[in-house]
Chains A and B, each alone.
Chain A
Amino acid sequence: MTYALVAGVMFGLYFSLVGIGLNLVFGVMRIVNLAHGDILMLGAFIALGVVGIAGIDPLFAVPLAFVVFVLAGVLLYWVLVPRLQGSANPEMLSIILFFGLSQVIEAVTTIFAGTSERSIQSRLLGTVFTTIKVKWFGGKAGGAGPIQIFGQGFPAPWVIAAITSLVAIGLVYLYLYHTRLGTLTRAVMSRRDEALATGIDVDRVSAAAFGIGLGIAAVAGVFAPFMFGSVTPAFGADATVTSFAIVVLGSLGNPLGTALGGVVYGLCYMLVQTYLSSWADLLPYVLLIVILLLRPSGLLGRRVRVA
């Protein structure tokens, strides 16, 4: 029981990281980024590349993935979004547009990487910490073993992913509530047309949010090989639906809501998997439908939209 609860919280924090980028993009632009899961998958491939080519700790892939995808996101924004916003029904067409994008990403990855499952040895993650420990404090070298919490051993990658997620969510919070661009972002989130009328450069703010959203998704992807065991180019689609369940479970346009949604989701997932394992696959979908029908504004949401 303790094991399921602690693992649930750790997975939950990670799931929040998975969902938060999607939340940001939808909240600011009313665009459904169906390619979200594929960005995650690409993040995982960056981690694979870092390990495969440089042979160093996959943690170094985190800043790399973030920077690469922020730039890619800003670029993609200017290519796709202004044209989309000009059409008759942007929200609906965005689903189809980003579905097309996800197909392109999946196809290109398959052409270059093949369809086989990829994984990284989990002891490679966090080697940077053990190396530092050995250099500065002495002690024995070697991979990080299980980490003890409440007398139970947990794989080190889970703990590292959970801590990284916590830090990333904190940074998103700081960005949204303590920087000028963040304040503008929240203004666009609550009333797009009024923000435009006040003279806010909506396109610039949206482009920044889009880039950050994709960057965070890629960072979450770096940990995907450790949290889910392995990744394939086709992993994106499932990840997208899971992210949606988390985002809707929390609430739209509120990063703290997504954090809560992620933790609730992680706990449910671990508990169902422990006690009713054959039904665990059903959980995200049923949870998503029930939440959408009963409380469309999410657990922490105000009533901001008509569903």
Chain B
Amino acid sequence: MLNASKHLLFILAPLVVVFALLPGVYQNHLLLFNFVIFLILAQGVNIIYGFTGYLPFGYVGFFGAGAYGFAIMVMHLQTPAPLAVLVGGLVAIALGLLLTPLLRLSGAYFAIANLAASLAVLHFVANPALEGITKGPYGVSLTGTFNPTHAYYAAVVVMALTVGAVIYLKNSPFGLALQAVREDAVSASMAGVNIVKMRVIAWLASALVAGLAGGIYAWYVSVFYPDNVFSGEFSIFAIVFALFGGVATITGPIVGVLILYGIYNLIGFTTPQYFQLIYGLLIMGLVLFLPAGLVSLATRRGWHVP
């Protein structure tokens, strides 16, 4: 457990301190907030893809479910925002439970089914027939709870919890068992690992963090449409960021977010199609030449990367 405390001290603590202090120095708070949200999502993808091998192509489904869980609590029950964020997390867990049968599928089938599931949730929420509950495609407006400062710090807290969870996975028998299941499910179950339970726990944990992130996102932006919070970009960005850095590590997704999302903000806003081109090429190059992510540059030289 010495390793775990080292990771907490040298990775998690600086990250939290930096993101807690930055709003005082740097004026573009929305940008900082987006960084924190993507750090959460990339680590959420890391939990499910890095440690179990399931590629969640519809990860945004949980994010959107969290956002709408938040919105419905605030609109219909006037709950205070922090409580509504927790409900958003619970809604995402409920969706995760509903989708557990998908874990029976493997490889590409899981990824496609998960993508289909997230689109199904989007069309369900955006259905004009449910306007009374979700406001359908016309979007929600939650001006009553609008408080970007609190939402930002809530996001930092969730980020700390998520990174903490990854540190736990990296340093615990549970995480080791998960990776054993990923490499060879049959052998792992022979060795006494309860495969189904393990996978479901990782799946729900990653659903939970995406749901909390979604709830906080809804709190921060306060006006949004189904297409915003269910945008496929969230899943794709989170997956690409995590892969770019290197999954099944603590630092990989963090590095991925900081570099790629940084590039995105430098060139993406003015000319999105050029960014799309660059990042498409980057993804292809990554898969062909560096399938294990940036950290593999270091691990190939024999350096240990947490």
Contacts and interface: CB of A to CB of B under 8 A. Distances in A.
Are A and B physically bound partners?
yes
A271 B219 CA distance: 40
Contacts of A101: 280, 284
Contact of B107 (A91, A96, A102, A104): A91
A92 B123 contact: no
Given A84-B288, A110-B276, A296-B109, A99 B236 contact: yes
Interface in B105-151: 105-109, 111-113, 115-117, 119-120, 123-124, 127-129
A241 interface: yes
Contacts of B105: 292-293, 296, 307
Contacts of A103: 276-277, 279-280, 283
Given A100-B283, A282-B123, A95 B111 contact: yes
A285 B104 CA distance: 18
B288 to A, nearest CB: 5
Say which size band chain A's interface belongs to. 35 or more
A169 interface: no
B287 A237 contact: no
B120 A97 contact: no
A286 B287 contact: no
Contact of B273 (A88, A91, A111): A111
A54 interface: no
Nearest to B277: A107
B281 interface: yes
A293 B277 CA distance: 36
A279 B106 CA distance: 29
Say which size band chain B's interface belongs to. 35 or more
A284 B232 CA distance: 17
B128 A289 contact: no
A80 B123 CA distance: 35
A235 to B, nearest CB: 14
A288 B284 contact: no
Contacts of B291: 87-88, 93
B108 A95 contact: yes
B273 A288 contact: no
B234 interface: no
A108 interface: yes
B178 interface: no
Contact of B283 (A87, A99, A248): A99
B274 interface: yes
Given A104-B284, A286-B120, A306 B106 contact: yes
Contacts, number: 126
A99 B273 CA distance: 15
B108 A284 contact: no
B274 A111 contact: yes
A107 B280 contact: yes
Nearest to A83: B288
A69 interface: no
A32 interface: yes
Name, among B115, B273, B291, the residue most crowded by chain A CB atoms within 10 Å (CB to CB): B273
A245 interface: yes
A148 to B, nearest CB: 35
Contact of A285 (B106, B116, B276): B116
Contacts of A87: 287, 291
Interface in B205-233: 232
A261 to B, nearest CB: 15
Contact of B117 (A92, A289, A296): A289
Contacts of A94: 108
Nearest to B105: A307
A237 B55 contact: no
Interface in A266-305: 278-279, 281-282, 284-286, 288-289, 292-293, 296
A278 B129 contact: yes
Contacts of A245: 116
A233 B101 CA distance: 34
B269 to A, nearest CB: 15
A110 B273 contact: yes
A244 interface: yes
A102 B123 contact: no
Given A101-B284, A104-B284, A111-B277, A285 B123 contact: yes
B55 A92 contact: yes
A284 B116 contact: yes
Interface string A100-127: 1111111110110000000000000000
A289 B102 contact: yes
Contacts of A244: 112, 116
Interface string A26-48: 00000010000000000000000
Contacts of B104: 293, 307
Name, among B105, B108, B111, B129, the residue most crowded by chain A CB atoms within 10 Å (CB to CB): B108
B78 to A, nearest CB: 29
Nearest to A30: B108
A101 B288 CA distance: 12
B109 A104 contact: no
* Shortest 6 CB-CB contacts between residues of A and residues of B: A103-B280, A100-B283, A104-B280, A107-B277, A107-B276, A285-B120
28 contacts: A84-B288, A91-B107, A92-B111, A95-B111, A96-B239, A96-B240, A97-B287, A100-B280, A100-B282, A100-B283, A103-B279, A104-B276, A104-B280, A104-B281, A107-B280, A108-B277, A110-B276, A111-B277, A241-B116, A244-B112, A278-B129, A288-B112, A289-B113, A289-B116, A292-B105, A293-B101, A293-B113, A307-B105
Given A96-B283, A107-B277, 14 more contacts: A84-B287, A92-B108, A95-B111, A96-B286, A97-B283, A103-B276, A104-B284, A107-B276, A241-B112, A279-B127, A289-B120, A292-B105, A293-B104, A307-B109
